[in-house]
Amino acid sequence: MDTQFITSLAIILATFALYIFIAIYNKAKETSEFYVAGRGVPPIWNGMAIGADWMSAASFIGMAGTIMMLGYDGLAYIMGWTGGYLLLTFLLAPQLRKSGSYTVPEFIGDRYKSKTALIIAAICTMIISFTYSIGQLSGSGVVIGRLFEIDAKLGTMIGVVLIAFYAAFGGMKGITWTQVAQYIVLIVAYLVPVIFMSLQITGNPLPWLSYGEIVGKLGELDRELGLSEYFAPFEKGTKWQFLALMFTLMAGTAGLPHVIARFYTVSTMKAARWSGAWALLFIGLLYFSAPAYAAFSRFILMTQVAGSKIAELPAWTKTWVDTGLLKVADTSGNGILEWSELIIANDIVVMATPEIANLGIFVIGLVAAGAMAAALSTAGGLLIAISSAFAHDIYYRIIKPTATDKQRLNVGRITIVIATLLAGLVALNPPGAITQIVAWAFALATGTFFPALVLGVWWKRSNSKGLIAGLLVGLGVTLTYIFAAKYGGFTILGIIDTGAGVFGAIAAFATNIIVSLATKPPSQEIQDAVINLRYPEQMTYKDGEVYMEE
């Protein structure tokens, strides 16, 4: 065992102990604490919790690398994964909070007065959240496995046990406060290396201001090598693919049940508004930094690694070559590693940065702890979403409405443990790369919940038949396009599987509207309830009149 191993292990164990302590301290005693943290989370803290809930292993480990590989085209992820917060905060979050429901399926079930709608929405929630959590668990497995030089499978199992324990124990209340701690760990871990890199390369400690000149220099280096410039637009895909991906990521953000659930934990519509603003500020700290990571890493690789003799490569390259994520084949046989001979996997950029920039063992351990925090916090939120869809929406609302608080809590906890184990089993042999699995979850949310919720909140004429048809058509079109694009080579305007949500959303909106208009309008009671969502808590709409609480 070397010093690096012991340092990393100590940092990770210390953060794990912190998360478990917080979960035990905030144990959920009632169902309202288990599902919505007792509805009293202050907006700033909720903003941090949303940030941790939101930023997954894909954001932390994968995004900077994706931008480095794709250049300008990778920025669709930056704009898409942040611009969605406007859709969510303006169109949905305050209104859903006013409705008073515990979960997204419950809102849909009550809004449309339909048990079928409730069940379909609960199943969609479970499918989307389950898909997403597989990505998180395999991500945490990769981190633990690589760090301790054990099999990634064993790493995944360690992550599974930990998540199942603290999510089942603390419920939403425990998760909220562990997520706050996880946000702090992950943002510090993300910013420290990029600030040091900025100091090393430009002498300026503010990477956000300093990397512009590096982006310019990368363009020059590319021109010298006869490549297209780093920042040249639409080199890796069409303009339409960029726009479709950006839309899918934005609308998916607004339709992901585990993210919406975080807005149920605050006390008012006003607090929901402020939560959205704080959340994007906290998320922005990481998203502002990812393109800087990408630029600095590419610059170091191009100027310090490429062009050196194969025999004299820095020591860190060997460890990563061993993992298969870095390839340094001297295909031209001249003994010198050229830029075109260097093949780098997206996922190593952030993880390898502390070694590339020679930042020391403490920072390497910190980055590993940050990556774990990102994976665990998102997985925790996802498991609560799965658990509430089953224990609250299906078990309590459909199967056994007479269940006591205690029975409901027990079912909720058991669901979490089973869901974690199942997701862990699938994650042992993941069906795709982390970013790919995550992209599918977004496409599904865009094709199902986004249209259903927007029309449910903003259009009182939408009825249960329209909703059910819309959900099924949206799901069908999205899945068909993903498979046709990925395995059949079928594309429209060059839009590939990751942009599939745009077609699902159009189909679902159209179906919902056409079927609703062709069938009977919903009851006056439902229409009144929809109008009531327009006003703040103090105002109530009833029978064409507005009443105000004094």
Partner 1 sequence: MKKIDKSKADAYFREKNTYMIVYFIIWAIVSYGIVLFAEPLSDIYFNGFPLHYYMGAQGALAVFIILLFVNAVMGDKIDKKYGIDPNKNEAIGRGSTVDH
Q: Which of 4, 32, 238, 480 binds partner 1 (CB under 8 A)?
A: 32
Single residue of 42, 233, 335, 431 touching partner 1 by CB under 8 A: 233
Tell me the C-alpha distance between 337 and 321, whole Å.
Answer: 14
Site stretch for partner 1 (CB under 8 A), options 9-17, 102-110, 363-371, 481-489: 102-110
- CB of 89 or CB of 140, closer to partner 1: 89
Closer residue to partner 1 (CB): 19 or 81 = 81
Q: Is 86 an interacting residue with respect to partner 1 (CB under 8 A)? A: yes
For 541, the 3-state DSSP assignment is strand
Site for partner 1 in 236-255 (CB under 8 A): 239, 242-243, 246
Distance, CA of 479 to CA of 132 (rounded, Å) = 15
How far apart are alpha carbons 363 and 373 in whole angstroms? 15
Subset of 212-231 contacting partner 1 (CB under 8 A)? 212-216, 219, 231
Strand partners, 327: 343
Binding to partner 1 (CB under 8 A): which residues in 352-381? none
Distance of CA 410 to the CA centre of its chain: 28
The window from 160-168, 261-269, 443-451, 498-506 that contacts partner 1 (CB under 8 A) reads 261-269
Helix, coil or strand: residue 418: helix
Q: How far is the CB of 236 from partner 1 (least distance, A)?
A: 13
Is 69 a residue that touches partner 1 (CB under 8 A)? Answer: no
The reply to whether 541 sits near partner 1 by the rule CB under 8 A is yes
Q: Note every long-range contact of 421-425, with CB atoms under 8 Å and residues 24 or more positions apart, other chains counting.
A: 421/160, 421/164, 422/130, 423/130, 423/133, 423/134, 423/137, 423/160, 423/379, 424/137, 424/156, 424/157, 424/159, 424/160
Say whether residue 169 binds partner 1 (CB under 8 A).
no
- Which position has the token pair 């959900």? 471
Count other Cβ atoms within 10 Å, centred on residue 524.
Answer: 11
* CA proximity to 251, closest of 485, 504, 61, 542: 504
User: Which residue's CB is nearer to partner 1, number 163 or number 271?
Assistant: 271
| Interaction between residue 98 and partner 1 (CB under 8 A) | yes
Query: Contact letters (x/-) for partner 1, 393-412, by CB under 8 A?
Result: ---x----------------
How many Cβ atoms are within 10 Å of 457's Cβ, its own excluded? Answer: 22
Does residue 141 belong to the site contacting partner 1 (CB under 8 A)? no
Helices (H) and strands (E) in the chain, counts: 23, 4
Residue 170 corresponds to which amino acid? G
Q: Name the phi and psi angles at 122, rounded to 5.
A: -65, -40
Minimum gap (Å) between residue 41 Cβ and partner 1: 12
330 is an interface residue for partner 1 by CB under 8 A: no
Least distance to partner 1, CB of residue 286, Å: 11
Nearer to partner 1, 153 or 273 (CB): 273
CA distance 71 to 69: 6
Q: Which residues bind partner 1 (CB under 8 A)?
A: 31-32, 39-40, 72, 75-76, 78-79, 82-83, 85-86, 89-90, 97-102, 106, 110, 208-209, 212-216, 219, 231-234, 239, 242-243, 246, 267-271, 273-274, 276-277, 280-281, 284, 287-288, 291, 396, 534-541, 544-550
